[in-house]
């Protein structure tokens, strides 16, 4: 062994045979990065700005961590990333399990990276797709996108609070934007309340649907249709083309019955086949048209400002609730007054007032 080799990490010391992927250079860098000391904020920023995925992922992990030291670090990184954020198009994608979200994102993502775009995909709450194997499923359905150097796919863990998930996703958006991703997809399963949260963090909201199944069958709530800027009838291929075209006409008609949106945008309906890559370009055309309209009538920036305001207030609300319910005296008194309400000894309003008074008194001391 010569002196140069002596200083090599044992992780790299496999002479004469090709390195398995688990010990290739990038993996070694990742392993090193994930152990021991957390790098300085400056190092983080430098590497995130270079679109170094290992650093970006590590920063997102800090954002997602509940550890106080990690959160402090995450705040510093986010603050430093802020000047570089905000320069992307944020697109929400929703639809019931099986509608083809992952397949669509694979096709659409590839279409965009071929156009020179840098695409980040954040999947919120992937575990809600009934089985927890969906991340694995996504990896196979986004086979090409996963390997694409201009794409980054990150499933967000489903947290116990919606506010918590939303905060993490919003902060992850900032990190991805600072890393130069100019098109951000945020994917949710269109059956829960997370759509409202996603709607309040994106510029454009896409709803994927299937032809031939009623809204109830598809588990889509009316509110979600109202939020949509475009409805895409997926799987418009093979025996399904005629039905998909019919559904397109029906939805276009139905959408005209909704009140005009503040953006003045009339939501569009289109069909596509994610598997055969047909109609994908039309989706991008629609989004570009939307951006042109809303940038010229200033709705685009207004909406982002409104969203920021909304999230400030939302975060305050959530924190206040946390402080309140974690307060030891509240914890002690609340069950007692609830019991009194149940026994008809106290009205709900008086009960609430008593608990709030106790909390206020404590904070004044
Ligand atoms: N024929 C046809 N099949 C499709 C199309 N898009 C998706 N599929 C199929 O539909 C099934 C579900 O697709 P996914 O992309 O996994 O659906 P998803 O919405 O991501 O599902 P979840 O992750 O469970 O929420 C798969 O078997 C796909 O191959 C399409 O355009 N045409
Ligand atoms: Mg999926």
User: 26-61: per-residue pLDDT in tens?
Assistant: 666 666 666 668 899 999 999 999 999 999 999 999
What 3-state DSSP class applies to 127?
A: helix
Q: Using a cut of 0.85, tell me whether the model's pTM lies above it.
A: no
Helix spans in the chain (H): 3-6, 25-33, 41-49, 53-64, 68-81, 101-114, 134-141, 143-147, 162-178, 194-199, 215-218, 222-227, 241-256, 280-296, 299-326, 328-342, 348-364
At residue 130, the pLDDT reads: 43
Which ligand number lies closest to the CA of residue 218? 1
Which residues sit with their C-beta closer than 6 Å to ligand 1?
A: 95, 97-103, 129, 134, 137, 141, 189, 234-235, 237-238, 273-275
- Average pLDDT estimate for 213-237: 78
Q: Which atom of ligand 1 is nearest to the CA of 137?
A: 16
Q: Which atom of ligand 1 is nearest to the CA of 103?
A: 15
- Average pLDDT estimate for 252-257: 86
Q: Where are the domains of the chain?
A: 3-80, 85-310, 327-364
Which ligand number lies closest to the CA of residue 100? 1
At residue 194, the pLDDT reads: 75
Distance 272 CA to ligand 2 centre (A): 17
Q: Going by CA atoms, what residue is nearest to atom 9 of ligand 1? A: 100
Is the distance from CB of 188 to CB of 74 less than 8 angstroms? no
User: 314-345: per-residue pLDDT in tens?
Assistant: 889 888 998 999 999 999 999 999 999 999 99
Give 1's pLDDT tier (boundaries 50, 70, 90): very low
Q: Going by CA atoms, what residue is nearest to atom 32 of ligand 1? A: 235
pLDDT reading at 134 higher than 70:
no
25-33: Cβ within 8 A, 24+ apart: 26/54, 29/54, 30/54, 33/58
At residue 4, the pLDDT reads: 45
User: 276-321: per-residue pLDDT in tens?
Assistant: 999 999 999 999 999 999 999 999 999 999 999 998 898 898 889 9
What is the DSSP pairing of strand 151-156 with strand 183-189?
Answer: unpaired
* C-alpha–C-alpha distance, residues 76 and 66, integer Å: 15
pLDDT reading at 248 higher than 60:
yes
Instruction: Name the DSSP class of 117.
Output: -
Position with higher pLDDT, 215 vs 155: 155
pLDDT reading at 260 higher than 50:
yes
At residue 345, the pLDDT reads: 95
Q: Going by CA atoms, what residue is nearest to atom 3 of ligand 1? A: 235
Is the distance from CB of 94 to CB of 207 less than 8 angstroms? yes
Fold (CATH) for 85-310: Rossmann fold (3.40.50)
Distance 234 CA to ligand 1 centre (A): 9
Position with higher pLDDT, 141 vs 259: 259
Q: Going by CA atoms, what residue is nearest to atom 22 of ligand 1? A: 97
Distance 164 CA to ligand 2 centre (A): 22
């Amino acid at each position: 062994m010569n002196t140069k080799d002596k200083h090599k990490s044992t992780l790299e010391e496999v002479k004469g045979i090709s390195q398995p992927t688990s010990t290739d250079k990038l993996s070694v860098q990742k392993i090193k990065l994930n152990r021991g000391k957390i790098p300085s904020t400056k190092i983080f920023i430098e590497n995130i700005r270079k679109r170094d995925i290992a650093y970006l992922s590590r920063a997102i992990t800090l954002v997602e961590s509940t550890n106080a030291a990690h959160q402090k670090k995450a705040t510093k990184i986010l603050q430093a990333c802020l000047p570089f954020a905000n320069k992307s198009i944020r697109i929400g994608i929703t639809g019931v399990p099986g509608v083809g979200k992952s397949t669509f994102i694979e096709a659409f993502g590839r279409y965009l990276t071929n156009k020179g775009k840098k695409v980040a995909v954040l999947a919120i709450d992937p575990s809600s797709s009934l089985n927890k194997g969906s991340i694995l499923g996504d990896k196979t359905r986004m086979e090409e996108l996963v390997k694409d150097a201009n794409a980054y796919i990150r499933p967000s863990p489903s947290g116990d609070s919606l506010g918590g998930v939303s905060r993490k996703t919003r902060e992850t958006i900032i990190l991805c934007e600072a890393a130069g991703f100019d098109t951000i997809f945020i994917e949710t399963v269109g059956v829960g309340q997370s759509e409202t949260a996603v709607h309040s963090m994106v510029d454009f909201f896409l709803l994927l649907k299937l032809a031939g199944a009623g809204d109830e069958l598809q588990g889509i709530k009316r509110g979600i249709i109202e939020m949509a800027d475009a409805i895409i009838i997926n799987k418009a291929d093979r025996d399904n083309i005629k039905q998909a075209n019919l559904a397109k006409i029906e939805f276009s008609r139905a959408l005209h019955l909704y009140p005009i949106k503040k953006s003045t945008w009339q939501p569009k309906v289109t069909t596509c086949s994610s598997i055969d890559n047909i109609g994908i370009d039309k989706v991008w055309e629609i989004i570009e048209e939307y951006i042109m309209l809303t940038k010229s009538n200033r709705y685009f920036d207004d909406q982002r400002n409104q969203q920021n305001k909304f999230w400030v207030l939302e975060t305050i609300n959530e924190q206040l609730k946390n402080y309140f319910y974690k307060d030891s005296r509240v914890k002690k008194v609340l069950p007692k007054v609830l019991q009194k309400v149940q026994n008809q000894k106290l009205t709900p309003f008086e009960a609430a007032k008593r608990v709030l008074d106790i909390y206020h008194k404590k904070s004044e001391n």
